[in-house]
Amino acid sequence: MSTTVPVTAASAEPSTAADSAQFGALVRAHRLRIGLTQRELADLSTISVRAIRDLEQGKARRPRTDTIRLIADALRLGPRARAALEAAAQQGRCAGAAGGLFDGEPPAPPTALHGLTGREAEAGVLVRELGSGSERLVNVVGLSGAGKTRLALEAANRLYAAGLPVLWHAFPGAPRDYLAAADAGPAERLVAELVAYLFEAGPGDEGRLPAQPVGDRPVLLVLDGAPERAPRCDRLTRLLREFPGLRLLVTSEHPWGLPGERPFLLGPLEVPVEGAAESAAVGLFLDHARRVRPEFAPSGGELADVVRVCARLDGHPVALAAAASWLAVCDLPALRRSVDADPAALLDHLAGGDGGRRFREGLQRGLRRLTDGQRALLADLCTAPGDGAGADGSGDGRGDGCGNGSGDGFGLDEIVALTGRGLPESGRMVRDLLIAGVIRAGHEAGRSRFRVLHLVRAFHRSAEGAPPAALAAAGH
């Protein structure tokens, strides 16, 4: 939809009233009035001939403010003609942003098949940051199966309920445990153009922005299961600059390391603390257990076994779901004994699926990203007692039943003593281990403590005591 913009007699000779509302038509009329070619206007304005041509042909309807100023200066427009040109540019943005895409029901995210367990705080932070626009590029990072897609679904649906249109794109290999939104037509085409612009090679340094813009209005673009290869920084920067209302929510295994990126580390679910039986991990395990055994209601010793299983599986959602599925063919004590002996043994769901395989492959990719020094540190931590493992690292001891074993993890000061490196470098090493997903953080009683995942210890033992580099090499 367009509205005619008043144009003075001195400003142009547009062919029709409708043409006078278009920025490109105005530019062309002004240029012809003073006898300039497109090349001459390009030279005077320092804007490329291609950009001038695209503007005049209506292929680019979102000129930047400095572009408008440069063109107006080159055309030597007076105050009224300049104001008319700026108004036409603004109308072009608004008309292009609508373009039928946001008319009526705005594009919606997929619908989750299962409820969200234990991620209320994380979802609240994402909604606040993206809803307010205080963060425009949030990358939810974590191991495969940690629940990144489910968290992104929750945040996207809450933002959609608050009136924010949502564009969703799932890369190949991303889990699709949801009901996809109905065919959105223009929205799907726009998403395809945005993804191609960011990740695919194109002509020129910046390429051509998608033909159908989102304009200045707030809109959320979700990139689920994004590749480790970061998008082109120049194109991402241009996209965020040209579309000030655009916010990106990304899920991936590793941060991109781009300017303005806000890495959001998503670890496993909360596991029970000593003497407690309630936690997000226990709640999720019970939900999955009751899908195969609806009457399942553990108490007393059985509940202690559930707590033990959840702690030994580190609260990892995929591992909890897989372990609970085995209750269809074994009892709880047998499940606990199996998890005590090897917490990685039941990573594969009884009903099949590739969750266990994706977790293993994700862990291997995370280990490959570590430096030799970081792998050596992880090897030292894996062979040290604690975190529910026996002194020999076998994991046979029951410990306190809450994953604390003979110790309560390690702190940054202990890493400094272990590595002999300074505090800043040791802190960065710990952060890299967190990003790789091989350790988890806990903040209790004002202290920050870190623990190697039992699943990582198990994989370390499966490599016959070799350093984690051997496990990383297994992924090649």
Q: What is the pLDDT of residues 366-388, one digit of tens each?
A: 888 888 888 888 888 887 665 44
Residues 162 and 226 both lie in one domain: yes
> pLDDT class for 191, splitting at 50, 70, 90?
confident
Residues 397 and 455 both lie in one domain: yes
Quick check: 311 and 272 in contact, CB under 8 A?
yes
Domain boundary among 309, 334, 353: 353
> How many structural domains compose the chain?
4
Mean per-residue pLDDT of the chain = 80
Domain boundary among 70, 98, 126: 98
Give pLDDT, residue 215: 64
Give pLDDT, residue 476: 41
Summarize pLDDT for 388-418 with one digit per residue, the tens.
Answer: 433 333 444 333 333 333 346 888 898 998 8
Summarize pLDDT for 202-233 with one digit per residue, the tens.
Answer: 555 556 676 555 666 789 999 999 998 899 89
CATH of the domain at 399: 1.10.10
**442 found inside a domain:** yes
Residues 115 and 209 both lie in one domain: yes
Q: Which residues pair with 442 in a beta bridge?
A: 449
Say yes or no to pLDDT of 86 above 70.
yes
CATH of the domain at 145: 3.40.50
Residues 145 and 238 both lie in one domain: yes
Neighbours of 46 (CB within 10 A): 9
**Could you tell me which of 407, 387, 398, 392 has the C-alpha nearest to residue 453?**
387
**151 found inside a domain:** yes
Residues 313 and 368 both lie in one domain: no
Token pair of 66, please?
Answer: 């400095």
What whole-number percentage of the chain has pLDDT above 70?
A: 77
**DSSP label at residue 103:** S
Residues 453 and 340 both lie in one domain: no
φ, ψ of residue 432 to 5 degrees: the values are -65, -35
**DSSP label at residue 262:** E
**12 found inside a domain:** no
Residues 142 and 48 both lie in one domain: no
Residues 139 and 241 both lie in one domain: yes
Q: Which H/E stretch holds residue 270?
A: none
Supply the pTM of this predicted model.
Answer: 0.72
Whole-number Å distance between alpha carbons of 164 and 133: 11
Neighbours of 91 (CB within 10 A): 19
Residues 138 and 246 both lie in one domain: yes
> pLDDT class for 337, splitting at 50, 70, 90?
very high
**270 found inside a domain:** no
CATH of the domain at 53: 1.10.260.40
**13 found inside a domain:** no
Strands 178-179 and 111-112: antiparallel
Residues 196 and 230 both lie in one domain: yes
Residues 115 and 80 both lie in one domain: no
Summarize pLDDT for 152-184 with one digit per residue, the tens.
Answer: 999 999 999 988 899 999 998 888 888 887 666
Tell me which residue range forms the domain holding 324. Answer: 280-353
